[in-house]
């Protein structure tokens, strides 16, 4: 849909990670029945949010971080990409 998309303010562009398509018992789950992944990789971030004095507060997440976000968070940009505000990110997955 877009060649390049740069989030503004405290928004983050995330690429959803693909979930497993097969259960432990070997049953393949069709695409229509799958829930969307709640983890993804940060592709781009905005500059940060402004406080009441107009000072920019930098982002806590960075490009390349793996993050966990709410089920209904953000706005879908394409099938596997979404834009969320930084406060909608529940945590950074550490390795």
Domain architecture of the chain: domains with CATH: 11-93 (2.30.33.40)
What tokens does 3 get? 């060649």
Residue 42 structure tokens: 């940060």
Q: What is the tally of helices (H) and strands (E) in the chain?
A: 0, 8
Contact 65, 42 (CB under 8 A): yes
Q: Work out the angle at residue 63's Cα, subtended by the Cα atoms of residues 31 and 7, and round it to the nearest 5 degrees.
A: 80
Structure confidence by residue, pLDDT tens digits, 23-70: 566 666 655 556 677 899 999 999 999 999 989 999 999 999 999 999
User: What confidence score (pLDDT) does residue 62 get?
Assistant: 93
The pTM for the full model equals 0.78
Grouping H, G, I as helix, E, B as strand and the rest as coil, residue 65 is: coil
């Amino acid at each position: 849909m877009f060649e390049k998309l740069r989030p503004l303010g405290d928004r983050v562009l995330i690429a959803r990670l693909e979930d497993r398509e097969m259960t432990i018992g070997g049953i393949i789950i069709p695409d229509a029945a799958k829930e969307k992944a709640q983890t993804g990789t940060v592709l781009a971030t905005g500059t940060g949010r402004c406080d009441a004095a107009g000072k920019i507060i930098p982002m806590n997440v960075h490009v390349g971080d793996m993050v966990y976000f709410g089920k209904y968070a953000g706005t879908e940009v394409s099938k596997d990409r979404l834009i969320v505000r930084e406060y909608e990110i529940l945590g950074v997955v550490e390795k």
